[in-house]
Structure 1
């Protein structure tokens, strides 16, 4: 397992660069210091990476801040996330045999505040169970010297001799708590040892102040700690990587990213695309046999025709967590190229630390910052333009953006707890747990089920046939933007059909009406758990939302309209709830 720590100076606008560096060095966990991010919470980033952050109160000036970045393969096994303040936060993760607790810190560089900082760290450490493996990461803003004889087991001989009162505070804390500063136990060249550097002036400066500190039960598992000086994130600190030989829950083999192909349904907003789509469907309908067949075959032919016509007209897109995908509007090719040039210039300066190479790097760094600022500004201008001119989707787009900005993103979790409270990580166990939970929830033994009587229809009575007008009215009443069911049919698909194409859906509805049998897709629902409040890993903290087939809903709406015509005259005038054109507001005015 590879674990890193890095003082990034500021994380604002650097999330995507940070993930690229973490992937480049194959990190499983990355502790981050000096994020300057306000508030506390979790953030779902690109490619499934999860960011757990802890900062100052949103009403104060941004300073300090710590965070922990988890690889997608590890994010689901988190047992506890405990943000303490802007300088200390801890996370506990389940391993195969035990639990690993990671404490990310960012120490103050003022000696008067250092003891209070260590007291906070000690309180956090005391809350951890004794059997846990404990790993401290972060910028401790101090030196520890190389007196390994006096501080036997706490430090090794591979550091400078510099030591002051603030440095002794950390050594005393580690000695009392049974901790080891493992950076100092491994001998490396200076370029792979020092974690901070300063250029400019008559003399360059460097020091070792970013540490990896472990508990005694974890010390033998550490095989190396060294600096990756080619990692670049516009900061004066180097990335520190620690290699642990401990068993984790995720498989050793590399898992390929899921590539899910979806149709670009949004293209149907264009009039020309809708016309072409309707024409393609009409051509396929003209080749359909006139004689009605089995309902499953009828539905298969219709669904296949609609999907093929949509794929040909709208084209397809690849979604899901893919390598290199960016979940932001401002990350464009120009920004990517500028950042790539900046990183290349940094590597050139690392190889030859001349004033010319340093000046070139700083120039490209400023240029990248400028392009990012311009791209972000243009992104917001485009957003305003969409709200102003696209009235069709403006309301939905507006509230999506408000929720994203207010919450800062929510961590999606896959792992859940079973009925006894044990954390489940394997995908098969997770699916079985959800199946068990919803089966118990929706099939309570206390519920009494009445036997349904079979409705016999007179098939010879053509006046009961479902008409083209009924299906057309039902399609017009569908709301756009709704999620699809198992058949992947969208409201935009049905709304793009012409009256001639709607005859195909009318034919299928008529077969269902006559035979009393509906396609399997219409009877299948996808249950999606939506987190409400409480522990995300508890099934009871989620509410199940069932996604049904839209053509199936269409048929149900036709039947509901027929039933309403019969039932409506029999309902008393005082009944206002669940009636079209009426509401409880009418009753309130009546009482007043």
Structure 2
């Protein structure tokens, strides 16, 4: 697979393949990665020199992944939900004829376990290199295969047929009459065999309208791609419209800030002072932002994973494909050498293109403008490495998987209502405190300026769609308005209704069952203006409250890292002195 990812994507696009099972990836690790044009590879391997399996999905199916099971370097499966239909895709690589019998038995046992774990009502498609021949003809095996196999059946092929019978599967390749050349899946030297197969449930065989071997592709040297056309009967579902968002990030550019300020002044009739009414000014800011800065299309950004893919590389790969076709048809030593030469040429072109692209990237990252790109690329790489970037289905309290947006939303609502309103038995202590009555000072412009300076840019906005970048852009005009607004809130003890609304987003903790609500941390997206108000109040409280020295969290110039360092030093000293050290660790579940 090394260096072949973008070439595979190009082939899948030309051949209109949505899902592709790959074997012998020879990649170590268990990850997912984007390989260009929105396509994503889910893979699993143990040793770089042998085995390894994977599944490649087209962009529109990536978000449909519900579960990824990595069983071994010869077997993995994906569960997808497509318009209400559950589809399980299994990629498998059976041991070769010369492997130990124990390894073969283990593979078939694991494959049977995977099949038994799939509910009967769900569809299953297996794309695999079974390293066996089921043979031509189907006498006695009509229920699991057709007549259009190749050669004589061998023991590995018989085991595949027995597996299909026990699991009520069908060997799809053998049901469609094709020329012999379009049935050969493996070609090496003078040998032409059929070892790669697609299987599906017998009850779903009618959903497959065609299956054949694709001749003329040069991605793999010996194996050929087997393609089947499957039509799923799905229920019609309304597609959610992509949410358009104001491009507030443009306010980082001074020229955009100037235009935004001038447009806002004109809308307000040339005033230098913002009106006191929050509802009015919030509406004006949103409308001005959309007009001046524009809105996003809501579509996915261009995939930058294979930015090195250029015209020279594409032309080289096209010449390699033509050389492969020529060798397949002529089978002469001259055509073979020509094909081998084209393979070397493509490798050189890819290496040159990658080197040039990386040099340009490093030059950009080394500049002042590229500092933020470095973090953006790191976040993008982290997201691409995850199997699922969003979870569509969730389990109820009894462990049953819920389908449908409405039922999933209701489950989240139920879970967070219970979590946030839970009452625990505790000892109630009545502490006598002296009541201090004094006049609360009005909020000053200096307090607002300091709070505004501490607010970070680039954070997700709340339901009011007004980020802190707006107030930073408006400068002193914003400070004066916010000071008046905060004093009004302080005196009236009432805040704007928009501040009361928030969006609750569940964030997976990256451990445990991905479909269990208990493995998520709830994050609230709130109004940035309200958070600015909270900063002002918090600064006043910190000036009045005395916090003990042992508190390390949420304290300026302190971190829990300091406490961990002190604890490790304490442990080392006790170990050196051969003394006992007793520690108590208390983990508050869902403390925040």
Same fold (TM over 0.5): yes
Q: How does 1:120-269 map to 2 (within 5 A)?
A: 120-126=107-113, 128-129=115-116, 132=120, 135-149=125-139, 152-162=142-152, 164=154, 166-168=156-158, 170-171=160-161, 174=164, 179-197=169-187, 206-214=192-200, 216-219=202-205, 222-229=208-215, 233=219, 235-244=221-230, 247=233, 251=235, 259-269=242-252
> For the Cα contact (< 8 Å) 1:154–1:179, is it kept in 2?
yes
Task: Identify the residue that residue 455 of structure 1 maps to in structure 2.
Answer: none
**CA distance 1:292–1:350, shift in 2 (3 Å):** same
Q: How does 1:367-406 map to 2 (within 5 A)?
A: 369-381=347-359, 384-385=362-363, 388-390=366-368, 393=371, 397=374, 401=378, 404=381
CA deviation profile, 1:519-554 (whole Å, cap 9, x unmatched):
343222221111112111111111011122212211
**3-state SS, counterpart of residue 37 of structure 1:** coil
Shift of 1:139: 1.5
Task: Identify the residue that residue 90 of structure 1 maps to in structure 2.
Answer: 77
CA deviation profile, 1:419-476 (whole Å, cap 9, x unmatched):
232222322322222222222222336699xxxxxxxxx9xx9x95544333222211
2:314 aligned residue (339, 350, 355): 339
> For the Cα contact (< 8 Å) 1:142–1:166, is it kept in 2?
yes
Answer with 154-163 or 33-42: which moved more: 154-163
**3-state SS, counterpart of residue 135 of structure 2:** coil
- Residue 287 in structure 1 maps to residue 270 in structure 2: yes
Task: Identify the residue that residue 582 of structure 2 maps to in structure 1.
Answer: none
The alignment of Structure 1 onto Structure 2 pairs a total of residues equal to 549
1:442 aligned residue (409, 415, 420): 420
Higher relative contact order (CA closer than 8 Å, sequence separation 6+): 1
**3-state SS, counterpart of residue 112 of structure 1:** coil
Shift of 1:38: 1.5
Answer with 555-564 or 416-425: which moved more: 555-564
Q: How does 1:402-417 map to 2 (within 5 A)?
A: 404=381, 408-412=385-389, 413-417=391-395
> For the Cα contact (< 8 Å) 1:258–1:320, is it kept in 2?
no
**3-state SS, counterpart of residue 428 of structure 1:** helix
Separation in 2, partners of 1:273, 1:213: 57
- Residue 530 in structure 1 maps to residue 507 in structure 2: yes
CA deviation profile, 1:503-532 (whole Å, cap 9, x unmatched):
444454455445544334322222111111
Q: How does 1:27-46 map to 2 (within 5 A)?
A: 27=17, 29-43=19-33
Separation in 1, partners of 2:367, 2:82: 52
- Residue 471 in structure 1 maps to residue 448 in structure 2: yes
1:298 aligned residue (263, 268, 281): 281
CA deviation profile, 1:278-315 (whole Å, cap 9, x unmatched):
55555555635969464312322234334544x0xxx6
Shift of 1:123: 3.5
Shift of 1:125: 0.1
CA deviation profile, 1:295-349 (whole Å, cap 9, x unmatched):
312322234334544x0xxx65545436xx3142x425x5267337734873797
> For the Cα contact (< 8 Å) 1:228–1:240, is it kept in 2?
yes
**3-state SS, counterpart of residue 555 of structure 1:** helix
Task: Identify the residue that residue 579 of structure 2 maps to in structure 1.
Answer: none
Separation in 1, partners of 2:513, 2:9: 27
**3-state SS, counterpart of residue 544 of structure 1:** strand
Separation in 2, partners of 1:348, 1:93: 38
Answer with 103-112 or 125-134: which moved more: 125-134
- Residue 483 in structure 1 maps to residue 463 in structure 2: no
**CA distance 1:562–1:177, shift in 2 (3 Å):** closer
> For the Cα contact (< 8 Å) 2:274–2:281, is it kept in 1?
no
Separation in 2, partners of 1:99, 1:579: 49
**CA distance 1:128–1:409, shift in 2 (3 Å):** closer
- Residue 559 in structure 1 maps to residue 549 in structure 2: no
Separation in 1, partners of 2:392, 2:37: 15
> For the Cα contact (< 8 Å) 2:26–2:52, is it kept in 1?
yes
> For the Cα contact (< 8 Å) 2:74–2:92, is it kept in 1?
yes
> For the Cα contact (< 8 Å) 1:108–1:114, is it kept in 2?
no
CA deviation profile, 1:480-525 (whole Å, cap 9, x unmatched):
3333223344444443333345444445445544554433432222
Separation in 1, partners of 2:282, 2:408: 33
- Residue 321 in structure 1 maps to residue 300 in structure 2: yes
Answer with 212-221 or 89-98: which moved more: 89-98
Task: Identify the residue that residue 7 of structure 1 maps to in structure 2.
Answer: none
Shift of 1:409: 3.0
Q: Which runs of 5+ in 2 are unaligned?
A: 427-437, 574-592
Q: Which runs of 5+ in 1 are unaligned?
A: 1-9, 449-457
Separation in 2, partners of 1:357, 1:319: 49
**3-state SS, counterpart of residue 401 of structure 1:** helix
- TM-score scaled to structure 2, two decimals? 0.74
> For the Cα contact (< 8 Å) 1:292–1:511, is it kept in 2?
no
**CA distance 1:441–1:447, shift in 2 (3 Å):** farther
Separation in 2, partners of 1:583, 1:506: 32
**3-state SS, counterpart of residue 147 of structure 2:** coil
**3-state SS, counterpart of residue 284 of structure 2:** helix
**3-state SS, counterpart of residue 521 of structure 1:** helix
**3-state SS, counterpart of residue 474 of structure 2:** coil
Task: Identify the residue that residue 519 of structure 1 maps to in structure 2.
Answer: 496
- Residue 117 in structure 1 maps to residue 98 in structure 2: no
- TM-score scaled to structure 1, two decimals? 0.74
**3-state SS, counterpart of residue 84 of structure 1:** strand
**3-state SS, counterpart of residue 507 of structure 2:** strand
**CA distance 1:128–1:169, shift in 2 (3 Å):** closer
> For the Cα contact (< 8 Å) 1:529–1:544, is it kept in 2?
yes
